[in-house]
Amino acid sequence: MEFVVLPDCPAGAHLAADLPAARRIDHASGRPWIVGDWPEDEATVLEAGPRRMVLLGRTRLDRAATTAVLGRLRSLRDVDTIASRLPGALHLAVSMDGRSRVQGSVAGVRQIFTAEAGGVTVAASAVGPLLSLTGAGLDDTLLAARLLAPGGAPWPLSLRPVHRGVDALGTGHWLEQEPDGRSRQIRWWTLPEATRSLVQGAGAVRSVLTEAIAARIRPDTTLSADLSGGLDSTSLCFLADAAGADLVTYHVMPLDGANEDTAWARKAAAMLPDARHHTLSSDRAENLFDVGYTAAHAHLAPEGPATWASGLAHIQDLSRRATAAGVSLHLTGFGGDELFGRMPACAWSLARAHPVGGLALVNRYRLANRWTWGATVRALTDRSTFAQNLAAVAARISDPPQPLSEPDFGWVFAPRMPAWATPDAVSAVRDLLTAAAADTPGPLDTDRARHQALASIVFEGKTVRQANTAVAGTGIVWDAPLLDDRVLEAALSTRVDQRLAAGRFKPLLTTAVRGTVPDDILDRRDKGEFSAEAFRGLERNRARFLELCEDSHLARLGLIDPAAFRSAVLNPGPMSHHLQPIETTVACESWLRTHSHPHPRPHHQDTGEHR
């Protein structure tokens, strides 16, 4: 699914001639509004006189009631009343009185990007169409920021594509396009206050998750899902089965014999007799830590290199298997750890929300992680703002990683540049982060743990979105119901002490799905660990990684020292975190080699669906 949203003006209409038009929806004026391609069964078009609303994605709504609300809107801001109730992950657009509103989902599974073309602001669901219109060039500094490990640049820089003049709509914002082609971003979404008890939160989570699954089920269609053995994906499988889905599951056996994922996945599969289950060997070639982008992925990642690109072979292999089984939608449990597990700053938030009971739980974390009382108290009493913390992170990007014995309860996960990054690259990324600290008005939430959860959820949303770009044209879509707006609202509006009840693993999730997921499955209290897969992938692909050191494109840009990178590939170190900077560097290098050529401008094609 890719489309462009044009303003209601002559300049916008002129741009439509340069865009493929497999499908097209017009403004009431007759000028082109939304131009591109999307599945017909995922488009809902409503009209109330000259007003038009388009929903692209899987959702459920009362058409007559929503059309009536559309007709009564006094302004585009009033669309909030509709957007705040819809299940699913959607793009929403409204054309009204010459102005238009367009937005994606909060997590960014459905994102909106913007660029200036033909003197007007153009919006799009993906970066590719905007590159076709603008010919935007590579921003070397934003590319260098993708070298940061683990996970790349922190929010809000994590939103930005690596091309000059192309930007992403801010988290929780919508874009207003005016008749003269100008635009502005308007924030419409903030996380509700955390006021719910465990029972209240679990009831809300159960309700919205049930609705989210129901919105994705179609008659006579087959869904597939990960059945890793973990609580998040396993819960989705049981919810989909309970909703009547024709379900196919996939489990990849872990390498480490101490990882109990396969035992739990087999137990769950036995309790889902109507589903068809597939177990894939731990020794399959398509697993973690592959080379990233190859010739098969040329121009399939226009946003820039993804930090998880080493898993592309797995994603494509699983997509092929599912498609062969007649599947068009694959469900994953992305977002579960953020919504139901513990973020690093939870200790900081617990100590403030509940100074007595919260500190008792903080002490459990302290003992489990072997933190000293002195280091723990210093971290708990930190009073820095989000901007101050981001600036401090910028100052430390060339330092060695913080020892695990020292807790970090800051707003921002603290990534580091690889040891083989050049001084110029380090300086440029530091300046980029420092500027972001000065320009960003504030965090995603006033509570550190909820900000961290949302920032990580935005990363997960980007992962799902980019995975779908990489498998575009294969006939399957990857989806993550836990990243829906309504789901994350329900989970994160539950009080932090209730979400992290002492002595229980993911109590909010297990309470929400109890009765649908068998009690025996909900007894699991741990997670699998996959560093063995990463080290095996490095061993198998070392020769291919070393080839990337030869005539390195990153070195040509002055971003890395290829000899130092080669040394790290040969001697990575004994811990899994030593592989993370290698992974981001391989992603960036392989992306440059497959995305270096200018993005072609499309020829005008009018196949003529006008609605």
Question: To the nearest whole number, what is the mean pLDDT of the chain?
Answer: 92
d(CA 139, CA 162): 5
d(CA 32, CA 60): 26
The sheet with strand 167-168 has its strands ordered as 23-26, 32-37, 2-5, 120-124, 113-117, 167-168
d(CA 360, CA 500): 12
* Lookup: tokens for 60: 């459920």
pLDDT tens digits along 207-244: 999 999 999 998 888 999 999 999 999 999 999 999 99
Q: Which CATH superfamily is domain 2-137+162-189 in?
A: Aminohydrolase, N-terminal nucleophile (Ntn) domain (3.60.20.10)
d(CA 276, CA 22): 36
pLDDT tens digits along 552-593: 999 999 999 999 999 999 999 887 778 899 999 999 999 999
Residue 604 has pLDDT above 70, yes or no: no
More confidently predicted of 606 and 271: 271
Predicted local distance difference test score (pLDDT) of residue 318: 93
Name the least confident of 87-96, 284-293, 381-390.
284-293
- pLDDT average, residue stretch 449-465: 96
Give residue 524's identity as a one-letter amino acid code: R
pLDDT tens digits along 53-89: 999 999 999 999 999 999 999 999 999 999 999 999 9
How many residues are there in the chain?
A: 611
| DSSP string across 169-228 | PPTTEEEEE-TTS-EEEEE---PPP--B-HHHHHHHHHHHHHHHHHHH--TT-EEEEE--
Could you identify the residue written with the tokens 């309504």? Answer: 486
Q: What is the DSSP letter of 262?
A: H
3-state secondary structure 320-353: HHHHHCCEEEEECCCCHHHHHCCCCCHHHHHHHH
Of 309, 291, 311, 288, give the one whose Cα is nearest residue 547. Answer: 291
For residues 557 and 142, the answer to whether their CB atoms sit within 8 Å is no
- Report the percentage of the chain scoring pLDDT > 90: 74
Residue 349 has pLDDT above 50, yes or no: yes
Name the pLDDT band for 598 (thresholds 50, 70, 90): very low
d(CA 175, CA 99): 10
- pLDDT average, residue stretch 97-102: 96
Q: Which CATH superfamily is domain 198-339+452-530 in?
A: HUPs (3.40.50.620)
Residue 605 has pLDDT above 50, yes or no: no
d(CA 369, CA 102): 45
d(CA 319, CA 246): 17
- Report the percentage of the chain scoring pLDDT > 70: 97
Domain extent listing, the chain? 2-137+162-189, 198-339+452-530
For residues 488 and 335, the answer to whether their CB atoms sit within 8 Å is yes
* Cβ-based neighbours of 49, under 8 Å, separated by 6 or more: 28, 71
- pLDDT average, residue stretch 152-177: 96
d(CA 312, CA 240): 26
Predicted local distance difference test score (pLDDT) of residue 292: 86
- pLDDT average, residue stretch 324-346: 94
- pLDDT average, residue stretch 20-41: 93
d(CA 230, CA 264): 8
Listed in order, strand segments (DSSP E) in 281-435 are: 327-331
